[in-house]
Amino acid sequence: MTISMYQASVPVFQKMLRNFDGILDKAAASAAARKFDPQVLLNARLAPDMFHFTRQVQIATAHATGGAARLAGLEPPKFEDNEASFADLKGRLAQAQAFLATLQPAQIDGSEERQIVLKYGPNVLEFTGLPYLTMFALPNFFFHYTTAYAILRHNGVDLGKRDFAG
């Protein structure tokens, strides 16, 4: 049995974004139950030089949608990166899910050799599809997803492995 590029990308991102949505619900409920401003969690970080929780969610969703879009040969959707509440972040997750739902296996399957070029300021990263997915898009998505989860756990939100992995 072989696994397709579509199966290794879109359903993975979709499942984890659904989990993320539940994690956001638990974070908002935790702030309400413990009677503190949700901004405490939204602005929390694990270390002074790391991005805060909100930015971790933004980057994770950008890697999910951008990764899938590039594999499909499409321009990644643009986000405003202006989310300021759990409701805003849930809206962003919904937008990401809506985009992923538009992608069909035929758009992504066979993209193992598709040329993907990313520009970050003066830096240019060049990939073909399979290494892009396995060594860039998925690791970056999971790094920011895991960091967001860890920020909430560190701040006392009652989360467990089932919340993370589904």
Question: Given the DSSP bridges, would you call strands 115-120 and 123-128 parallel, antiparallel or unpaired?
Answer: antiparallel
107: left (phi over 0), alpha (psi -120 to 50) or beta: alpha
Q: Does residue 5 form part of some domain?
A: no
Is 151 part of a structural domain of the chain?
yes
Q: Find all residues with CB under 8 Å of 127, minimum gap 6, and list them.
A: 115, 116, 117, 118, 135, 136
Taking residue 132's Cβ as centre, other Cβ atoms within 10 Å add up to: 25
- Cβ neighbors of 121 (< 8 A, separation 6 or more) are none
Q: Is residue 46 part of a domain?
A: yes
Domain housing 118: 10-161
> Could you tell me if residue 2 is inside a domain?
no
CATH of the domain at 87: 1.20.120.450
* Residue 25 within any structural domain of the chain: yes
pLDDT along the chain (166 residues), means of 10: 92 98 98 97 97 98 98 97 98 98 98 95 96 98 98 98 96
Q: Answer whether residue 143 is part of any domain.
A: yes
- The verdict on residue 106 lying in a domain is yes
Domain count, the chain: 1
